Chains A and B, each alone.
Chain A
């Protein structure tokens, strides 16, 4: 077992995983309408291959990747394309084009969907990469970065370690935990396939110590493979962030943006991604569904659902018995980094790991008090920045000073805002600075 270090910064957050941690994964079923955004994540939008009125089947490719950072899309079920129209994408926070599918309820599989095989020896590295590309695989941890881009790293870089991220340090969320508990073998198979695709010899499965069942299952499943190890980390937010994980497990630090884990010889993927690749290899089914934790004190029966990509949030909440009390906030993702939405009619994307409902009384906003310079945000920052200064500069429109304090290195984990005893919106202020600086840099690049 790999011994993990403490790592920089971080905060102790409540666990809250007990809400949905014991619930087995169940199928969410087919909603009345699916919305598949052509922009599931940052990067170039994909290009639709179907037109309104076309019949599609489960697993059929409906949009093609475009550009370097992009992934293709597949129909999650059979039905008819109702329209390709602009719809509100909650994670990106803007309106983007989406393919709207009205399911016919038959759930008929596309003819082209065929298993590749379940013997990794017989599958070439090139084949793995092709499957990853063609399945529209993205990182299912939240940021939804196309996996193919990670595997097809430039030949000059020497990658020595592949980390499988099963940390799930966000409170409430249990999607990855349940996946590891219930489908450990599949996750390990997918992980080995990812390693093969990237040409990496050594793999470490990283799990926080608050998931003993998942640790046991993964240790069991990875035992036959000497190239795999399990690293158990203490529970501390944001341990599951890519950079923090690399620091804690390997003692390496990823260079600041635009530095990538590749630069220190590491690739990190989420357990959900590994499982999706396993599914794609064994059954031929591309990424059309994922595990979503629908949880929080505001839902009647917290659960882990296997939901089709594009399912409306309201449908998922109805599936778990609806709201238990007057809802205050509905969040896509976890409480630390998730996005709050104003309308439950929006649909989930590939990166949505959870739907969190907080009751009204839990989201009362407290008054913002003056900063008392307690330095808790400095202690909490996993990038070892000085949030207190960056936020103060941003609030007073000293964006250049904020930039000098490395505002752009911020990973927006929210730890500083979380610990602030004066309830100052530090993360928000730093985001503001980042947006300003990014806009300035874009303007400078244009010149």
Chain B
């Protein structure tokens, strides 16, 4: 009988949002930053982004075919990873950099650990860390001057900023008229995308707010060499990849804590590590490693940061019982 009634456990209706829908939202949120990158860095930017995205999707497809798992490129998560990776690269890198980075991100950082949902670090950042270790020269010098698109010499504004010098006007920083990786130049475009994700309820405001707040406050305290409490928090946040990291990388579901309080801790921790690397490390930027390290701390945060269950707040006996229960 074809028209038998279906029996399932309640609830019988589901929210409209699916994994695919969420990933599509992230892609949409990345459109402003990608467009800004193409506007400032031209065809070079477009080719880098295309190479990283296409090779990420292809890598996922081929890997899943090779190990005979169901193909999941339809959930757009590989496309998101590839696009994010592309946005963290300097504009003038040779095209094999995004390709190798994407393949590493998808195969080694994601699929080997079981695919979407079981990877332990953010695949895009793992890919970036890999190409950074593989071709450090490309990754720290392949800059282009915005708009004119000729090869730029000299340090990025972040280098100058670390030395305590002024680093361009705020307007230039906001629009993106400066040296930098594809996705980190235009602050407005990233904030636009982040706002879209917040509005759609895709990401939790806690991680970006805690991260950028910690970072800004730390820059204010330590930002000026030789003097405390005279740093420039705004430039500290706008320079480098902090914005992109805060809105798109640190908020990656799989590698961030599930509890609201845990997410706050994740943001604060990433902010502190970024500060450590920026001011006490050799390296001008620490967003990648800060977030990767907090990814590794996520299971720990999840284990120890649990919400106060309903009904345990007022009753001392119940509180004790809950404690005896194990946590």
Contact = CB atoms under 8 A, between A and B. Distances in A.
Q: Do the two chains touch directly in the complex (Cβ atoms below 8 Å apart)?
A: yes
Interface of A: 8, 11, 13-14, 171, 243, 247, 252-256, 259, 263-264, 326-331, 335-344, 356, 358, 360, 363, 365-366, 369-375, 378-379, 382-386, 388, 401, 403-406, 409, 412, 414-415, 417-423, 425, 427-428, 431
Contacts of A427: 9-11
A379 B260 contact: yes
Nearest to B310: A383
Given A259-B311, A404-B325, A418-B15, A338 B5 contact: no
A363 B12 CA distance: 8
Contacts of B325: 403-404, 406
Given A338-B12, A406-B325, A264 B314 contact: yes
A385 B312 CA distance: 12
Contacts of A421: 15, 17-19, 21-22
A263 B315 CA distance: 10
Contacts of A415: 11
A43 B88 CA distance: 62
A378 B310 contact: no
A336 B10 contact: yes
B304 interface: no
20 contacts: A14-B13, A256-B309, A256-B311, A329-B12, A339-B10, A341-B7, A360-B3, A370-B116, A370-B117, A373-B256, A378-B258, A383-B311, A386-B258, A406-B322, A409-B310, A409-B311, A414-B11, A421-B21, A422-B18, A422-B117
A414 B17 contact: no
The SS class assigned to the A binding surface is loop
B14 to A, nearest CB: 6
Given A253-B311, A373-B254, A386 B259 contact: yes
B76 to A, nearest CB: 12
Contacts of A374: 22, 253, 258
B204 interface: yes
B75 A369 contact: yes
Given A374-B253, A383-B309, A414 B18 contact: no
A342 B258 contact: no
Contact of A252 (B12, B306, B314): B314
A14 B13 CA distance: 10
B118 A331 contact: no
A337 B10 contact: yes
A8 B15 CA distance: 19
A404 B17 contact: no
Contact of B307 (A339, A356, A386): A386
Interface string B36-80: 000000000000000000000000000000000000000100000
Query: For the side of the interface on B, what is the size category?
Result: 35 or more
A403 to B, nearest CB: 7
B310 A336 contact: no
B301 to A, nearest CB: 12
B169 interface: no
Contacts of A404: 325-327
B14 A417 contact: yes
Contacts of A371: 117
B310 A382 contact: yes
Given A14-B13, A363-B6, A388 B258 contact: yes
B278 to A, nearest CB: 29
A358 B9 contact: no
A328 B5 contact: yes
Interface string B211-235: 0000000000000000000000000
B19 A8 contact: no
A370 B115 contact: yes
B204 to A, nearest CB: 7
Contact of B13 (A343, A373, A412, A418): A418
Interface string B286-314: 00000000000000000000111111111
A247 B310 CA distance: 9
Contact of B318 (A243, A259, A386, A422): A259
Contacts of A259: 311, 315, 318
Nearest to A383: B310
Interface centre among B5, B9, B322, by most chain A C-beta atoms within 10 angstroms, is B5
A403 B326 CA distance: 9
Nearest to B258: A375
A14 B14 CA distance: 10
Nearest to B307: A384
Interface centre among B3, B6, B117, by most chain A C-beta atoms within 10 angstroms, is B6
Interface in B111-154: 114-118
B3 A255 contact: no
B12 A331 contact: yes
B155 to A, nearest CB: 38
A341 B6 CA distance: 8
Contacts of B256: 373
Contacts of A341: 5, 7
A389 to B, nearest CB: 8
Nearest to A429: B9
A101 B307 CA distance: 52
Given A372-B19, A421-B22, A431 B9 contact: yes
A365 B254 CA distance: 25
A44 B178 CA distance: 76
Contact of A366 (B14, B114, B327): B14
Contact of A335 (B13, B75, B258, B315): B13
A93 to B, nearest CB: 10
A358 B11 CA distance: 13
A180 to B, nearest CB: 24
Nearest to A257: B311
A344 B9 CA distance: 17
Contacts of B257: 375
Contacts of A423: 14, 18
A403 B19 CA distance: 29
B9 A425 contact: yes
A243 B311 contact: yes
Nearest to A252: B314
Contacts of A328: 5-6
A8 B11 contact: no
B12 A256 contact: no
B78 to A, nearest CB: 13
Interface string B239-265: 000000000000001101111100100
Contacts of A379: 204, 260
B253 A253 contact: no
